[in-house]
Amino acid sequence: MAKIPVGLQLFSVRGECSKDLAATIKVVAGIGYVAVEPWGYGGDKLEWMGHSPQAIRKMLDDHGLACCGIHLATGALLGDNLARTVELNQVLGNRFLVIAADKPRMSSLDGIRELAGILDATAERLKPLGMRTGYHAHGFDFALIEGRPAWDVLFGSTQHDVVMQMDIGNCAGGGGDPIAMLRKFPGRALSVHLKDYGGPAGSVIGEGQADWPTIFGLCESTAGTQVYVVEEGGADGLGFDVSRRSLEALRRMGKS
């Protein structure tokens, strides 16, 4: 099969983005990433980081980058915000509208049910547009809620079209088992965040405890993965060395 494209979650270089978004995108492309995933969009304005979607699209096109996803606040999918969220992402050419985190709702059964309803309703509205919604993993998503991991409850309560954006390091850091989750919910991990765990300070992908051969085997067989997204960066999102070394590690694994 063709190699799964590798993008960078721009939160990894957020400090650089705050200084100069266009320059940051140029460097990211020069490192060898083929796509990027913006973060922190709330749906209240038709812009990101002070730039119009058309301006951001030009920055991407100028350097041959795709937009492989976006991290959203839950509110970006509610009310009038959803129309702005859709419009911005249509301009960017992005299909994956992913809630970055929602700890308040993920902390109770009633909250999880509410979140599942939001995701299911959004998924139905996005289907005719060729877009998908989903939820990204953080450590707190694997806390037990009445004896079950919150993550299991959410993805056991949502339709198959809702994307399970597994984050390998976040899941393991919260006591979850990313491999077990990839196996339990086949076909739903269309976008996977690559982040190692348990390694020494300053380590990158391949230098921790993650079982990458098994993870990649699942992603490329039963999980349905369409994009890998690296989320590894320097302190405060400054500098590019960690993001560069992460991609170099993936190249050595034959993934880029």
With beta carbons less than 8 A apart as the criterion, state whether 209 and 198 touch.
yes
- Mean of pLDDT over the chain: 97
Q: Is the pLDDT of residue 1 over 70?
A: no
Structure tokens at 13: 């270089």
β pairing state of 70-72 and 144-145: unpaired
Find the DSSP H helices in 7-127: 14-19, 21-31, 53-62, 81-92, 109-126
pLDDT at position 201, please? 82
Q: Which fold has domain 6-252?
A: TIM Barrel (3.20.20)
Q: Is the pLDDT of residue 2 over 80?
A: no
Residues in contact with 2: Cβ distance below 8 Å, sequence separation at least 6, in sequence order = none
pLDDT at position 220, please? 96
How many other C-beta atoms lie within 10 A of the C-beta of residue 63?
16
With beta carbons less than 8 A apart as the criterion, state whether 41 and 11 touch.
no
| pTM for this entry | 0.97
What are the structural domain ranges in the chain? Answer: 6-252
- 80-112 pLDDT, tens digit per residue, is 999 999 999 999 999 999 999 999 999 999 999
The residue among 201 and 79 whose pLDDT is bigger is 79
Q: Across-strand partners of 229?
A: 7, 193
